[in-house]
Amino acid sequence: MVNSIDLGFVTKNFGNDGFGAPPVFKMITSGGDNTSAIAKIEGIEEVEAWWPGRVFEVTARLEDMTDVAAFGLQLTYDPEKVKPLAADQAIAQGDVFDGNGAGSLFFHRFETGVVEVASGRIGSDWSASGDGNLATVRFMALVDEPGVIEIANGVVVNSAHFGIPMTVEKAPALPSVAALHQNYPN
């Protein structure tokens, strides 16, 4: 997997030339706090019916960012229930770094059951904030339900090249309120 912190260093100085020596990295600012940022997967709930051969998209989003210079994540899926489309159709870069005039770098890798994604802004004049899409992955269903597709882990890197683990929104495992309903057998 691409180290997101290293990617942040590289993309900060991407395209710099004429120095004659490797760039020196000086920590000037403390960087923003992304601890309130929440990563989530969207797209599965919007599919009304499942069947083998059904093509669908899931999008990894990051909400409530304050200062994102790079990120890396691992998206997991059940390879017996879904498979990514062919390499050129399987993944699209999200819009999280679209506001950066200098652009961004985007990397991805597929392994059975795992999609790894890493991206970083180019330059140091701009950082992502607010809400944004990280990546969209297109899958084909192999059976009549998709199984679990989720962000297994990830890192968010701020402009000071400090990485923190992504906080991932997960479906609750237990109900939030305990209650007996009318159809409960007595």
Q: Which residues pair with 136 in a beta bridge?
A: 59, 92
In a domain, 183, yes or no: no
Q: What is the pLDDT of residue 125?
A: 85
In a domain, 18, yes or no: no
Q: What is the pLDDT of residue 19?
A: 55
Q: What is the pLDDT of residue 160?
A: 87
The domain total for the chain is 1
In a domain, 140, yes or no: yes
Q: What is the pLDDT of residue 34?
A: 86
Q: What is the pLDDT of residue 17?
A: 58
In a domain, 158, yes or no: yes
Which residue's entry shows tokens 């890396």? Answer: 72
Tell me the CATH number at 43.
2.60.40.680
Q: Which residues pair with 114 in a beta bridge?
A: 76, 111
In a domain, 175, yes or no: no
Cα separation of 9 and 35, whole Å? Answer: 21
User: 55-68 and 38-42: which strand pairing?
Assistant: antiparallel
Q: What is the pLDDT of residue 23?
A: 54
Residue 76 near residue 84 (C-beta atoms within 8 A): no
In a domain, 178, yes or no: no
Per-residue pLDDT of the chain (186 residues; tens, 9 = 90+): 556 555 555 565 555 555 555 555 555 556 788 888 999 999 999 999 999 999 999 999 999 999 999 999 999 999 999 999 987 899 999 999 999 999 999 999 999 999 999 999 998 888 899 999 999 999 999 999 999 999 999 999 998 888 899 999 875 544 556 666 566 565
Please tell me whether the overall predicted TM-score, pTM, comes out greater than 0.95 for this model. Answer: no
In a domain, 184, yes or no: no
Counted residue by residue, the chain has a size of 186
In a domain, 46, yes or no: yes
Q: What is the pLDDT of residue 6?
A: 57
Q: What is the pLDDT of residue 146?
A: 93
Cα separation of 91 and 136, whole Å? Answer: 6
Q: Which domain holds residue 84?
A: 4-13+31-168
